[in-house]
Amino acid sequence: MQTIALRTVSFVIGVSAIGLAALAGSLNSNSASANSPKQPVLTLEQMKAEYRRPEAIPFPKSNPYSVEKASLGKKLYFDTRLSAANLLSCGSCHSPAYGWGDGQPTGVGHGMKKLGRRSPTIVNAAFGQIFMWDGRAATLEEQALGPIQADVEMNLPIDKLIEKLKAIEGYGPLFQAVFPGQGITPETIAKSIATYERTVVSGRARFDSWIEGDENAISREAIRGFILFNTKGGCTQCHSGWNFTDDSFHDIGLATVDIGRAKILPGVEKMMHAFKTPGLREISNRGLYMHSGSMQTLEAVMDHYSQGGIDRPSRSAEMKPRGLSKQEQADLVAFMKTLTSEMSPTSAPLLPR
């Protein structure tokens, strides 16, 4: 696994907020007593340690990073000629202007057709284990070619894609430089786009400064929300690690006819209406929410989780009524807003002619 370095950070445990640490212990104790078997009680410092930023972006050995490959991938990512109508690019549905989504309830594809699911963000995709809402793509390379070929999305079959790119004189030398002797193939296109996507990583957020020791980086409301997130809220059952996702699939009790992961794993009851857990980094810039775009605000999301969603056989065991007060919900929202960073603006690339 190849990596390229992110900004190296040091982790310093905060020594203040003793009262908040006591609150964490109290909430953990209450949570453990309400749910058997009892869970270990974590201190505030131990909770913080679970979310340390990685030091590097991972790249697979089968597709190592290079500046030239990422540059080629960026051109392909934003090139509308990768669609049948020359109107859509990867960046149309996964735009930096909308937290690398599209700001719509559900995606819009070929012929302005509304799609059935929301366009997921590509932020931190480099750290993902499986891709798309239902997990039908095992790698980013596989994911990159999927929407291009799908008739309801970009609607460009692979043979037509290759023909089109080979007809653009400027692409030939770029592919030859990055992939000597291979040229323009489905594999080299996928590797280029996936390499660029892996470079789209969250910047440092206020939350990162806080877990490194700056006790004033986030509000007391947000700190209370962080503690609730790790205790009474039960959020870490699915939203774990620095990117706040377990990369797994859960039915969270939404009203939907979409069977989700069950289409890939038919006959597995818990996969009915189950969708991939999204990461929470940059969440403030990524509304609307849920696979269906059915919730407009983070406040609505918190209310749903507090109530526990629709009780049905497929509903995840982690989903249950949490009885969160309005103040607790507000605290959780305040915490999640600290996960948004000042990401560098993304310029449009000059495309080959």
| Model confidence pLDDT, tens digit, residues 73-118 | 999 999 999 999 999 999 999 999 999 999 999 999 999 999 999 9
Instruction: For residue 221, indicate whether it is catalytic.
Output: no
How confident is the prediction for the chain on average, in pLDDT? 91
Q: What is the pLDDT of residue 62?
A: 97
**Nearest residue to 87 (alpha-carbon basis) of 22, 156, 134:** 156
3-state percent breakdown (helix, strand, coil) of the chain, nearest 5: 40, 5, 55
Which residues 6+ apart lie within 8 Å of 245 measured at CB? 238, 239, 276, 277, 278, 279, 280
Query: In angstroms, how far is CA 192 from the centroid of its own chain?
Result: 20
Q: Give residue-wise pLDDT tens across range 259-276.
A: 999 999 999 999 999 999
What homologous superfamily does CATH list for 2-53+205-337? Cytochrome c-like domain (1.10.760.10)
Task: Give yes or no for a contact between 327 and 299, defined as CB atoms under 8 angstroms apart.
Answer: no
Task: Give yes or no for a contact between 117 and 106, defined as CB atoms under 8 angstroms apart.
Answer: yes
- CATH 1.10.760.10 segments of the chain: 2-53+205-337, 57-198
Whole-structure pTM value: 0.89
Taking the C-alpha atoms of 334, 337, 339 and 344 in order, what is their torsion angle to the nearest 10 degrees?
Answer: -150
Say which of 153, 197, 282, 328 is annotated catalytic. Answer: 153
Which residues 6+ apart lie within 8 Å of 184 measured at CB? 162, 165, 166, 171, 172, 175
Where residue 22 falls among pLDDT bands split at 50, 70, 90? very low
Q: What is the pLDDT of residue 37?
A: 47
Encoding tokens for residue 193? 């786009």
Encoding tokens for residue 315? 């509903």
Where residue 40 falls among pLDDT bands split at 50, 70, 90? low
Q: What is the pLDDT of residue 343?
A: 84
- Is the pLDDT reported for residue 65 higher than 80? yes
Q: What is the pLDDT of residue 15?
A: 29
Which residues 6+ apart lie within 8 Å of 209 measured at CB? 217, 218
Q: Which residue has the tokens 């002619």?
A: 353
- Is the pLDDT reported for residue 21 higher than 50? no
Q: Which residue has the tokens 């079959």?
A: 157
Q: Which fold has domain 57-198?
A: Cytochrome Bc1 Complex; Chain D, domain 2 (1.10.760)
**Nearest residue to 129 (alpha-carbon basis) of 249, 219, 224, 36:** 249
Pick 252 or 21 by higher pLDDT.
252
Give CA–CA dist 17/197, Å, rounded.
Answer: 39
